[in-house]
Each structure stands twice: as structure tokens, then as C-alpha cells.
Amino acid sequence: MAVSTEMIKKLRETTGAGILDCKNALEQTGGDMDKALDILREKGLATATKRSGRKASEGVIDLYSHGDGRVCVMVEVNSETDFVGRSEAFRKFAHEVALQIAASSPLYIREEDIPQADLDHEAEIASAKAREEGKPESILPRIVDGALKKYKDETVLLRQSYIRDDAKTIQDLLNENIAALGENVIIRRFSRWSLGEASEE
């Protein structure tokens, strides 16, 4: 199947990858858009892994306010250079991260940020609930594993489903942007406030 300019354009819009990368992926898969998308995602992941060790201290702090100021988010996203940090694509990504945080209320950025005490607490709750429901002891470890996975998927930003496309996670979105921007990109930190929320202090 011949690869048309329209197909390349569509794939580029979906992934943010370069024109040549899109063309090559489509040619490799005989014009199969889904397979080409998989190739670019794998390539993006490989690129992201390669770049993950590079220092990123430029970037932007994005502020987002929702519902007439009822929810407010501040997020710092870093790039390696000021040039990328000032680019429209980078700023759009930072804003999408802020929207995600406003909508999905994550507690942590990465899985390794979760304190062990919180994981132990969640495991105890899942275990006690399963026993109360009369589940056999032999399947408790699987039930606890499932509960912890669900907890991580809900509370860890990079594991959350992207609000605009639940077929991808925020980690996928991050990898795509690293591949498209050609630099390491780091979601450094965030704060989310909701009107009337009690302070933890």
C-alpha cells in the first residue's frame, strides 16, 4: 500500500513524531496506522529511556485554575534547554499535565514516591476486606496485589490514564513528548488545591 502525505500528516498529529519517522513507520507496516503507531510508541520509549539520565533544569511552571477558582494546580515541568522550555509544544504538554492533575487528583508523580507505610496500609485494608467477605486465604496475596495496582493507577500521575485518551497513560504522553522534543523532560513537582479542603498540616 502506498503511503500518502495525508497518512503521514495524520500519524504526525497523533504522535507528535517527526515527518520522516512517521513516513518510515508507515512504510515499514505497509500503511497500517495502528502498527505504525506501535512502532513510534516503542521508539519513543527507547528514546525516552536513553534521554532520562540527562540533566533537565529549564522549563516552565504552569498554573491552572478550574471552576471559577474552585480547583487550582501548579506544576513544574523541566526540559534540558531554555529553547525547548519556551516552545509551544513543551508548554502545551505542561498545561496538559496541569489539567490531568486538576481532573484526577494524583498524590504522587512516580510509583517510587509512595511511602512504604502507605502501601502497607492499603495492603492491610485490602486483606481485611477480603477476609470479611470470606475469601480463602490462598487467594489473599492476589487480591492484595490487585488492590495495590489499582491504588497506584489512581494515585500515581505517570500511571494514570490520560484524561483525553484513556488508551494511553501520562507516562506514554511524557515519552511521546520526549521523542518529539528531542530532550529529556521531567515532571518535577506539583501542588493541587481544592476550595474548602482541609490542610494536612
Q: In the chain, what are the domain boundaries? A: 5-51, 58-110+156-194, 115-154
Q: Is the dihedral of CA 54, 55, 56, 58 positive or negative?
A: negative
Residue 160 contacts residue 170 (beta carbons within 8 Å):
yes
Which is it for the CA torsion 71, 187, 153, 112, positive or negative?
Answer: negative
* CA angle (167 as vertex; 139, 20 as ends), nearest 5: 135
Nearest-angstrom CA–CA distance, 3 and 21: 13
pLDDT value at residue 44: 62
Q: Where are the alpha helices (DSSP H) in the chain?
A: 5-15, 19-28, 33-51, 82-85, 88-104, 116-132, 140-155, 170-181
Residues lower than pLDDT 70 in the chain? 1, 14-18, 41-57, 198-201
Q: Which CATH architecture has domain 115-154?
A: Orthogonal Bundle (1.10)
The pLDDT, as a whole number, for residue 201 is: 41
Give the pTM.
0.68
Burial class for 94, CB neighbours closer than 10 Å (0-12, 13-18, 19+): buried
Q: How far apart are CA 75 and CA 71, in angstroms?
A: 13
- Residue 168, Cβ density class (10 Å: 0-12 exposed, 13-18 middle, ≥19 buried): middle
Give Cβ neighbours of residue 4 (< 8 Å, ≥ 6 apart): none
Contact status, residue 123 vs residue 144, Cβ threshold 8 Å: yes
How many other CB atoms sit within 10 Å of the CB of residue 140? 15
CATH topology match: 5-51 vs 115-154: no
State which amino acid sits at residue 45. L
pLDDT, residue 66, reads 84
58-110+156-194, what's its fold?
Tetrahydropterin Synthase; Chain A (3.30.479)
- Per residue in 3-58, pLDDT (tens digit) is 888 888 887 776 666 677 788 888 888 888 888 877 776 666 545 555 555 566 68
CB 162 within 8 A of CB 175: no
CATH class of the domain defined by 5-51: mainly alpha
